[in-house]
């Protein structure tokens, strides 16, 4: 088997084992939460007989390992069960809200990724000079702010000082694409501010590392302009670590936006999770947690695979 294919298969197998282990932790962690699901559904005034009947109907009287394997079997067949609080099909609710989360992440990525690469190239080109210091200072300032602080600052600035947006990001089926873009403008701005610095600084560091190579000095001696040397010679050889950090930030944009979604009341997966944590709706919490874990692990595997494929020593083994 080719070394690249072997490594890719190993990464995928490890990812599946990790996801299985995460599913055990998610299920065990939610089951260990204090409180009684039946009591949370029926309220404090419920009779012991009603509580016992509800526990039996929900299967809560079964051993924990039996309930885990029943749940895992349903997940593998695409059945996440029903929400305890409203009886809604969890799979259908997740499908709709996951689409909203992916739309928000895609909009933020479409702005942050090219902007981070361009700023990283400019910072590397003017290393140690004022453009580099300004870019690094601004990005470090934005990354130092907690998400909720950045969100409330953006809300105040763009809804009160400069009232051009609405503070609540509401999307619903049937909205046009441009209406959705306008609705998610504020959370997109916040997410761009949050993830931009990571990608910019990795781009800058990777380019500066490659610029120490001998072939870069040869290109400079040929009379090529500094920006052409960076674009044509340094960037292609620094692309592996840049792509890796981009993919990891894309994972964050999908699974790490819970705070942003809650602040802007955005009808997506993070808001769905928080609402049902408060209601102690364990099947919903378990399903959303597993979806987040699967997305994060999958994108980490993708980053590993890209790094492997970009390694010339693996592409051309002796």
Instruction: Convert the pLDDT of each residue in 74-125 to its tens digit.
Output: 888 888 888 877 778 888 888 888 888 899 999 999 999 999 989 998 988 8
Per-residue pLDDT at 312: 60
Q: How far is CA 115 from its chain centroid?
A: 18
Quote the CA–CA distance of 34 and 282 in Å, as a whole number.
12
If DSSP codes are grouped into helix, strand and coil, which group holds residue 280?
coil
- The values of phi and psi at residue 271, to 5°, are -65, -40
Query: Is 21 a residue whose pLDDT tops 70?
Result: yes
Per-residue pLDDT tens digits for 207-232: 888 887 777 778 777 777 877 888 77
The class that CATH gives domain 90-281 is: mainly alpha
Q: How far apart are CA 183 and CA 298, in angstroms?
A: 29
How far, in Å, CA of 194 to CA of 198, rounded? 8
Q: What is the pLDDT of residue 5?
A: 79
pTM listed for this prediction: 0.83
């Amino acid at each position: 088997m080719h070394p690249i294919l072997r490594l890719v298969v190993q990464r995928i197998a490890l990812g599946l084992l990790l996801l299985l282990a995460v599913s055990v932790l998610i299920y065990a962690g939610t089951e260990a939460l204090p409180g009684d699901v039946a009591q949370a559904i029926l309220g404090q005034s419920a009779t012991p007989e009603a509580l016992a009947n509800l526990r039996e109907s929900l299967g809560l009287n079964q051993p924990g390992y039996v309930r885990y394997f029943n749940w895992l079997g349903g997940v593998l067949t695409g059945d996440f069960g029903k929400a305890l609080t409203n009886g809604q099909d969890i799979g259908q609710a997740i499908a709709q809200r996951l689409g909203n989360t992916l739309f928000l992440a895609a909009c933020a990525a479409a702005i942050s990724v090219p902007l981070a690469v361009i700023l990283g190239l400019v910072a590397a080109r003017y290393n140690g000079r004022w453009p580099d210091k300004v870019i690094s200072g601004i990005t470090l300032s934005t990354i130092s702010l907690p998400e909720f602080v950045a969100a409330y600052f953006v809300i105040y600035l763009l809804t009160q000082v400069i009232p051009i947006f609405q503070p609540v990001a509401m999307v619903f089926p049937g909205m046009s694409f441009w209406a959705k873009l306008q609705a998610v403008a504020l959370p997109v701005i916040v997410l761009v501010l949050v993830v931009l610095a990571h990608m910019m600084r990795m781009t800058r560091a990777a380019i500066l590392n490659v610029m120490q190579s001998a072939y870069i000095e040869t290109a400079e001696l040929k009379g090529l302009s500094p920006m052409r040397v960076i674009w044509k010679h340094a960037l292609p050889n620094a692309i592996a670590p840049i792509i890796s950090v981009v993919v990891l930030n894309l994972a964050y944009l999908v699974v790490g936006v819970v705070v942003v979604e809650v602040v802007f009341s955005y009808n997506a997966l993070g808001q769905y999770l928080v609402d049902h944590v408060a209601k102690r709706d364990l099947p919903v919490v378990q399903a959303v947690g597993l979806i987040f874990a699967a997305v994060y692990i999958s994108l980490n595997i993708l980053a590993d695979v890209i790094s492997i494929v970009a390694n010339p020593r693996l592409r051309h083994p002796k």
